[in-house]
Amino acid sequence: MVQIVKNATLVNGTTVDIVIENQRIVEASETTTIQGDVIVDAAGMYVSPGWIDLHTHAFPKYKPYCAMPDQIGYKTGVTTVVDAGSSGADDVDEFYRIAQEATTRVFAFLNISRIGLMRQDELSDLDNLSFAAIQQAVEEYPQFIVGLKARMSASVVCGNGIQPLSIAETFRHKLELPLMVHVGTAPPELNEVLSYMKKGDILTHCYHEKENNHIFREDGSVEPSLLAAIDRGVYLDVGHGSSSFSFGIAQKAKQQGVYFDSLGTDIYQNNQKNGPVYNMETMLSKFLALGYSLEEVIEAVTIKPAEILRKPDLGSLQPGSIADLTFFTVKESSKKLTDSFGTSIDGELLIKAEAVIIGGKYFELEKSD
Ligand SMILES: [Zn+2]
**CATH, residue 11:** 2.30.40.10
| pLDDT exceeds cutoff 80 at 152 | yes
Based on the fold, state whether residues 128 and 230 are members of the same structural domain: yes
pLDDT in tens, 114-129: 999 999 999 999 999 9
Q: How far is the CA of 84 from the centre of ligand 1 (A)?
A: 6
Dmax (CA) for the chain in angstroms is 65
| pLDDT exceeds cutoff 70 at 368 | no
Q: How far is the CA of 228 from the centre of ligand 1 (A)?
A: 24
Q: How far is the CA of 271 from the centre of ligand 1 (A)?
A: 11
Q: How far is the CA of 239 from the centre of ligand 1 (A)?
A: 7
Residue of 360, 358, 366 whose CA lies nearest to 51? 358
Based on the fold, state whether residues 199 and 263 are members of the same structural domain: yes
Based on the fold, state whether residues 122 and 150 are members of the same structural domain: yes
Asked if residue 55 lies in contact with residue 64, where contact means CB atoms within 8 angstroms, the answer is no
Residue 369 lies in a domain: no
**In angstroms, what CA-CA distances link 153 with 209, 213, 249, 357?**
13, 10, 19, 38
Based on the fold, state whether residues 25 and 158 are members of the same structural domain: no
Q: How far is the CA of 38 from the centre of ligand 1 (A)?
A: 39
Sequence letter at residue 295: E
Here the CATH number for the domain that contains residue 295 is 3.20.20.140
Q: How far is the CA of 266 from the centre of ligand 1 (A)?
A: 5
pLDDT in tens, 210-244: 877 899 998 999 999 999 999 999 999 999 999 99
Based on the fold, state whether residues 70 and 107 are members of the same structural domain: yes
- What is the average per-residue pLDDT within 332-348? 96
What is the number of other CB atoms lying within 10 angstroms of the CB of residue 63?
A: 11
**Mean pLDDT over the full length of the chain:** 96
Q: How far is the CA of 116 from the centre of ligand 1 (A)?
A: 12
**In angstroms, what CA-CA distances link 292 with 93, 234, 255?**
40, 21, 12
Asked if residue 304 lies in contact with residue 262, where contact means CB atoms within 8 angstroms, the answer is yes
Q: Which residues pair with 202 in a beta bridge?
A: 180, 235
pLDDT bucket at 359, cuts 50 / 70 / 90: confident
Based on the fold, state whether residues 35 and 110 are members of the same structural domain: no
Question: Cα–Cα distance between 15 and 300 in angstroms, integer?
Answer: 21
- What is the average per-residue pLDDT within 131-152? 97
What is the number of other CB atoms lying within 10 angstroms of the CB of residue 295?
A: 13
Based on the fold, state whether residues 15 and 147 are members of the same structural domain: no
Q: How far is the CA of 153 from the centre of ligand 1 (A)?
A: 12
pLDDT value of position 69: 98
Binding residues for Zn(2+): 55, 57, 149, 182, 205, 266
pLDDT value of position 160: 92
- What is the average per-residue pLDDT within 326-337? 96
Residue 342 lies in a domain: no
Residue 34 lies in a domain: yes
| pLDDT exceeds cutoff 60 at 75 | yes
Question: Cα–Cα distance between 119 and 235 in angstroms, integer?
Answer: 27
Residue 335 lies in a domain: no
Phi/psi for 34 (5° steps) reads -70, 135
List the alpha helices (DSSP H) in the chain: 69-72, 92-101, 131-140, 154-157, 163-175, 190-194, 224-231, 247-255, 269-273, 280-289, 294-299, 303-308
Half-sphere exposure in the Cβ direction for 37 (13 Å, CA)? 9
pLDDT bucket at 348, cuts 50 / 70 / 90: very high
Q: How far is the CA of 83 from the centre of ligand 1 (A)?
A: 8
Based on the fold, state whether residues 31 and 112 are members of the same structural domain: no
Based on the fold, state whether residues 37 and 66 are members of the same structural domain: no
How would you classify the pairing of strands 179-183 and 15-21?
Answer: unpaired
Based on the fold, state whether residues 137 and 106 are members of the same structural domain: yes
Based on the fold, state whether residues 180 and 206 are members of the same structural domain: yes
Binding residues: 55, 57, 149, 182, 205, 266
Asked if residue 294 lies in contact with residue 11, where contact means CB atoms within 8 angstroms, the answer is yes
pLDDT value of position 369: 56
Q: Which residues pair with 27 in a beta bridge?
A: 19
Q: How far is the CA of 105 from the centre of ligand 1 (A)?
A: 18
Q: How far is the CA of 55 from the centre of ligand 1 (A)?
A: 6
Name the domain count of the chain.
2
pLDDT bucket at 367, cuts 50 / 70 / 90: confident
Q: How far is the CA of 57 from the centre of ligand 1 (A)?
A: 6
Residue 110 lies in a domain: yes
Based on the fold, state whether residues 196 and 258 are members of the same structural domain: yes
* Domain limits for position 19: 2-48+320-330+350-364
